[in-house]
Chain A
Amino acid sequence: MTPSTASRATAGKAPAGPSRGARQERRLGLLLCAPAVVVMLAVTAYPIGYAVYLSLQRYDLRFPEQAHWVGLANYGAVLSSPYWWQALGVTVLITVVSVAVELVLGLALALVMHRAVFGRGTVRTAVLVPYGIVTVVAAYSWQYAWTPGTGYLAALLPEGSAPLTEQWPAIGLIILAEVWKTTPFMALLLLAGLALVPDETVRAAMVDGASFGQRLRLVILPLMKPAILVALLFRTLDAFRIFDNIYVLTGGSNGTGSVSILGYDNLFTALNLGIGSAISVLIFVCVALIALVFVKLFGTATPGAEPESR
Chain B
Amino acid sequence: MPRVPSLRSRWASAAAGLAVVASALTGCGSSGQSGQATLNWYNFPDDSGALQQAADRCGQQSGGRYTIRYNKLPRGADGQRQQLVRRMAAHDTDVDILGLDVTWPAEFAEAGWIHEWTGQLRDRATADTLDAAVRTATWQGRLYAAPYNSNTQLLWYRDDLVQTPPGTWAEMLAKADELARAGKPHYVEIQGAQYEGLTVWFNTLITSAGGSILTPDAQAPSLGAPAVTAATVMHDLATSPAADPSLPNQMEDQNRLAMESGTAAFELNYPFVYPSMKANQPELFQHFRWAPYPAVIPGRPASVTIGGIDLAVGAYSRHPDLAFEATLCLRDRENQLTNALKGGLPPSLRSLYQAAELTRSYPFAADVLAALDSASIRPKTPAYQNVSIAISHTLSPPADIRPEKDVADLHGQIQDALGSKGLIP
Interface residues of A, Cβ cutoff 8 Å to B: 28, 31-32, 35, 60-64, 77-78, 81, 83-84, 147-150, 160-162, 164-165, 250-254, 257, 262, 265-266, 268-272, 275, 279
Contact = CB atoms under 8 A, between A and B. Distances in A.
Nearest to B248: A165
B423 A81 contact: yes
Contacts of B382: 62-63
Given A147-B254, A254-B397, A62 B246 contact: no
Interface string B359-377: 0000000000000000000
Given A28-B4, A77-B422, A62 B111 contact: yes
Interface in B256-310: 257-258, 261, 263
Nearest to A34: B10
Contacts of A147: 246, 249, 254
Contacts of A165: 245-249, 397
B110 A62 contact: yes
B125 to A, nearest CB: 24
B246 A162 contact: yes
Contact of B258 (A63, A149, A262, A275): A149
Contacts of A148: 245-246
B420 A266 contact: no
A32 B5 contact: yes
22 contacts: A32-B5, A35-B10, A62-B110, A63-B111, A64-B112, A83-B423, A147-B249, A149-B246, A149-B258, A149-B263, A162-B245, A162-B246, A165-B248, A253-B194, A253-B393, A253-B396, A262-B425, A265-B389, A266-B423, A269-B385, A269-B389, A270-B386
B424 interface: yes
A63 B110 contact: yes
A31 B10 contact: yes
Contacts of B218: none
Given A149-B263, A161-B245, 7 more contacts: A62-B107, A63-B110, A63-B111, A63-B420, A162-B246, A164-B249, A272-B420
A147 B251 CA distance: 12
Nearest to A250: B249
A267 to B, nearest CB: 10
B401 to A, nearest CB: 13
B215 interface: no
Given A149-B263, A265-B424, A251 B389 contact: no
Given A78-B423, A251-B195, A268 B82 contact: yes
B355 interface: no
A254 B247 CA distance: 12
A62 B108 CA distance: 7
Given A32-B5, A61-B85, A62-B382, A254 B248 contact: yes
A270 B425 contact: no
Given A251-B195, A269-B78, A271-B85, A60 B389 contact: no
Contacts of B249: 147, 162, 164-165, 250, 253
B127 interface: no
A209 B420 CA distance: 69
Given A62-B382, A150-B261, A269-B389, A81 B85 contact: no
A215 to B, nearest CB: 31
B116 to A, nearest CB: 17
Interface string B192-210: 0111000000000000000
B423 A77 contact: yes
Nearest to A147: B246
A262 B246 CA distance: 24
Contacts of A77: 422-423
Given A35-B10, A250-B249, A269 B111 contact: no
A60 B258 CA distance: 40
A253 B248 contact: yes
Contact of A254 (B386, B396, B422): B396
A148 B187 CA distance: 13
Interface string B20-38: 0000000000000000000
B170 to A, nearest CB: 24
A63 B107 CA distance: 9
B121 interface: no
Given A35-B14, A161-B245, A270 B389 contact: yes
A262 B254 CA distance: 25
Contacts of B78: 268-269
A269 B194 contact: no
A251 B396 CA distance: 12
A253 B386 contact: no
B180 interface: no
A262 B424 CA distance: 8
Contacts of B263: 149
B161 interface: no
Contacts of A84: 423
Contacts of A32: 5
A271 B385 contact: yes
A275 B423 contact: yes
A160 B194 CA distance: 20
B89 interface: yes
B423 A150 contact: no
B120 interface: no
Contact of A83 (B85, B246, B420, B425): B425
A165 B193 CA distance: 9
A149 B250 CA distance: 12
Interface string B50-90: 00000000000000000000000000001000100100010
Contacts of B386: 270
B418 to A, nearest CB: 11
A24 to B, nearest CB: 11
A47 B397 CA distance: 38
A84 B389 CA distance: 16
B185 to A, nearest CB: 12
B85 A251 contact: no
A64 B423 contact: no
Interface in B398-413: none
Nearest to B263: A149
A149 B110 CA distance: 45
B246 to A, nearest CB: 5
B35 to A, nearest CB: 35
